[in-house]
């Protein structure tokens, strides 16, 4: 039986097709797609319209071979549902998108081994740079990045050893200051509620401990540490346990606003007056904190600026600039003192 003649496959549009139709050089088209700030708005608009009309799709593999750059950045964060990291991603995108970089987002789920697997996978895409959350990455991961010549910037924490480039703030100092605020208000039986127990939560706990130890008020029995994911319901549950075991407790420092909002909810349900019977503080100052009843005292963290400044620093490194002499960019934090304390 004779074979049917195969239909001729339509040829995919090329960069030169776009350039010919617009009447510009292929280099101008490439700049419009990859470094739009270098092309006038009028020409860029014409090019983008022609790209859509012809259905042109850039060949990133070919581009990487020619330029030795992939124009991708790997970003590893521990959660895609946590507002803190969504805000951080927004700051990163604000910087990288105008420069034509594609972001490879990896959700590590607070798992060190998963983070290492994700990084190895993303290295196969030959990213031009990497943004990592925290500083707990294994030495072999850092060594591999160094061997490949891929710059990396760490976010959210500072590195006491000053070995890594970091953009963030002192989680420990923030924990110390919010605890000192409670002490200054006269509270002496201050509990700590921690969930997930990731490195940043544990650093806040260290700050809490140091403040109470300095005041002679520390007791380990008032530390309630739960490895479960943080949520409002968990805050309610932890409050119930606290009131049964330590009714003398007069304040609670929650490691984040989710738990703190849960504590406020539990107090309303059981008739506990806040702050006269129990003061409550949170961490991160999410939007709901200022609208809670009573309004929630919290620590405002610069999560958007962390992403913004980390991406700016990474851009400098990817452009071939030397690392700054000051390897730690401390963006600080603010205590938001409200009705709950």
What is the C-alpha radius of gyration for the chain, rounded to an integer number of angstroms? Answer: 26
The per-residue pLDDT for range 271-312, each reduced to its tens digit, is 999 999 999 999 999 999 999 999 999 999 999 999 999 999
What is residue 33's three-state secondary structure?
Answer: helix
Q: How far apart are the first and last CA of the chain?
A: 87
All structural domains of the chain:
15-58 (1.10.260.40), 69-169+303-334 (3.40.50.2300), 171-300 (3.40.50.2300)
Omega prior to 294 cis, within 30 of 0 = yes
- Return the exposure string of 35-57: e unless at least 16 CB atoms fall within 10 Å of the residue's CB, then b: ebeebeeebbebbbebbeeeebe
Tokens of 77: 């964060």
Give pTM, 2 decimals.
0.81
The per-residue pLDDT for range 13-51, each reduced to its tens digit, is 888 899 999 999 988 988 887 777 788 988 989 998 998
Confidence of residue 10 (pLDDT cuts 50, 70, 90): low
Share in percent of the chain as helix, strand, coil (round to 5): 50, 15, 35
Task: Tell me the C-alpha to C-alpha distance, in Å, between residue 119 and each of 77, 200, 220, 317.
Answer: 11, 21, 37, 19
């Amino acid at each position: 039986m004779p074979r049917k003649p195969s239909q001729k496959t339509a040829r995919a549009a090329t960069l030169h097709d776009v350039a010919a139709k617009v009447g510009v050089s292929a280099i101008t088209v490439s700049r419009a797609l990859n470094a739009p700030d270098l092309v006038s708005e009028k020409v860029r608009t014409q090019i983008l319209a022609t790209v859509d009309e012809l259905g042109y799709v850039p060949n990133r593999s070919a581009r990487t071979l020619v330029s030795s750059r992939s124009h991708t950045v790997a970003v590893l964060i521990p959660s895609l549902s946590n507002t803190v990291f969504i805000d951080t991603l927004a700051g990163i995108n604000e910087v990288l998108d105008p420069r034509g970089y594609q972001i490879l987002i990896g959700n590590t789920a607070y798992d060190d081994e998963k983070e290492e697997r994700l990084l190895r996978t993303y290295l196969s895409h030959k990213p031009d740079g990497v943004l990592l959350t925290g500083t707990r990455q294994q030495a072999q991961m850092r060594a591999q990045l160094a061997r490949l010549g891929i710059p990396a910037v760490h976010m959210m924490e500072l590195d006491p050893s000053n070995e890594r480039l970091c953009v963030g703030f002192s989680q420990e100092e923030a924990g110390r200051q919010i605890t000192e605020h409670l002490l200054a208000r006269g509270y002496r039986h201050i509990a700590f509620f921690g969930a997930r127990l990731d490195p940043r939560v544990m650093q806040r706990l260290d700050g809490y401990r140091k403040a109470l130890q300095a005041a002679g008020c520390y007791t380990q029995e008032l530390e309630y540490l739960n490895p479960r994911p943080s949520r409002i319901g968990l805050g309610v549950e932890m409050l119930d346990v606290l009131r049964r075991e330590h009714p003398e407790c007069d304040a609670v420092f929650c490691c984040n606003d989710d738990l703190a909002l849960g504590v406020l909810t539990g107090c309303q349900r059981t008739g506990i007056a806040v702050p006269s019977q129990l003061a409550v503080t949170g961490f991160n100052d999410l939007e709901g904190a200022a609208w809670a009843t009573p309004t929630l005292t919290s620590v405002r963290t610069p999560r958007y600026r962390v992403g913004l400044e980390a991406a700016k620093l990474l851009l400098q490194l990817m452009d071939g600039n030397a690392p700054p002499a000051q390897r730690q960019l401390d963006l600080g934090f603010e205590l938001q003192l409200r009705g709950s304390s």
